[in-house]
Amino acid sequence: MRRFGGSRGNEQLTAIVAALLVPLLLAEAATLLNVRSLLTVHAFIGMLLVPVVAVKLASAGWRMVRYYAGSEEYVRRGPPQLAIRLVVAPVLVASTIVLFGTGVALLALGQTQGSLVGLHKASFVVWVGAFGLHFLTRVGLLWRALRPRVPGISMRLAAATLSIVAGVALATLTLPSMDHLQDGVSGHVGFDER
Ligand code: HEM
């Protein structure tokens, strides 16, 4: 266990993946400026994000599991502050799952309107609030967690790289469905009509 860096290694993996998420989430946010004409790009980045977010949730979840299992070094490190533990983190995790889950479902079903779109938008509103709080309370920790030399760094970098490779593969494999989705909205706004 120690050769992976233990609890400090876990903190560093969470931070490495967080640092990858920042530009990807910014790019996804940029597509919202004109989501109907950028639907393919929106869906591509969204699918790319799925494995990266999954690693982030797994790494953060591992800390929680180890803490509640009574692992000494995780107990010594302590849990996040009470408000984060009881409110921000659960709302962020739940809204992330609904946001990405509905996004994937819309792509699979080829839907661009209806109640699933409503749920996707509603979960986004909740997610923005929770994520904003998460970002503001966590961004200061990033540098502190990224800097130290903790054993197992190559494993952590490999895990982060693999999540990106898996994301690109997933997004590329689902490109035909994205094309179909884009055709759906482009038809409504008058582009791409045959
Ligand atoms: C979809 C996006 C994200 C989700 C779902 C997510 C989720 C979580 C969760 C559930 C935790 C554990 C609870 C906590 O400590 O607050 C956590 C920890 C953390 N997150 Fe995020 N996060 C996301 C993006 C980001 C981004 C963009 C940053 C960049 C600032 C970030 C930085 C951190 C840091 C530094 C920690 C604490 C690591 C530790 O002390 O172990 N997260 N994240």
Residues of the chain whose pLDDT is less than 50? 189-194
Domain ranges of the chain: 2-183
Q: Helix, strand, coil: what percent of the chain each, to 5? A: 85, 0, 15
Q: What is residue 23's predicted lDDT score, i.e. its pLDDT?
A: 98
Per-residue model confidence as pLDDT tens digits over 144-168: 999 989 999 999 999 999 999 999 9
Is the separation of the CB atoms in 142 and 18 below 8 Å?
yes
Q: What is residue 42's predicted lDDT score, i.e. its pLDDT?
A: 98
Which of 138, 146, 147 is the best mutation target for the ligand 1 pocket, counting ligand atoms within 8 Å of the beta carbon and taking the most?
138
Q: What is residue 188's predicted lDDT score, i.e. its pLDDT?
A: 53
Q: What is residue 190's predicted lDDT score, i.e. its pLDDT?
A: 45
* Residue 142 Cβ < 6 Å to ligand 1: yes
* Residue 66 Cβ < 6 Å to ligand 1: no
Residues 6+ apart with CB under 8 A from 97: none
CA distance 124 to 80: 24
Q: What is residue 3's predicted lDDT score, i.e. its pLDDT?
A: 76
CA distance 56 to 127: 15
* Residue 22 Cβ < 6 Å to ligand 1: yes
* Residue 59 Cβ < 6 Å to ligand 1: no
Query: Model-level pTM?
Result: 0.93
Structure tokens that stand for 51 in this block = 């494995």
Q: What is residue 148's predicted lDDT score, i.e. its pLDDT?
A: 87
Report which residue type is found at 77: R
Q: Whose CA is closest to 51, among 171, 135, 138, 145?
A: 171
The one-character DSSP state at 86 is I
Which of 11, 12, 14, 68 is the best mutation target for the ligand 1 pocket, counting ligand atoms within 8 Å of the beta carbon and taking the most?
14
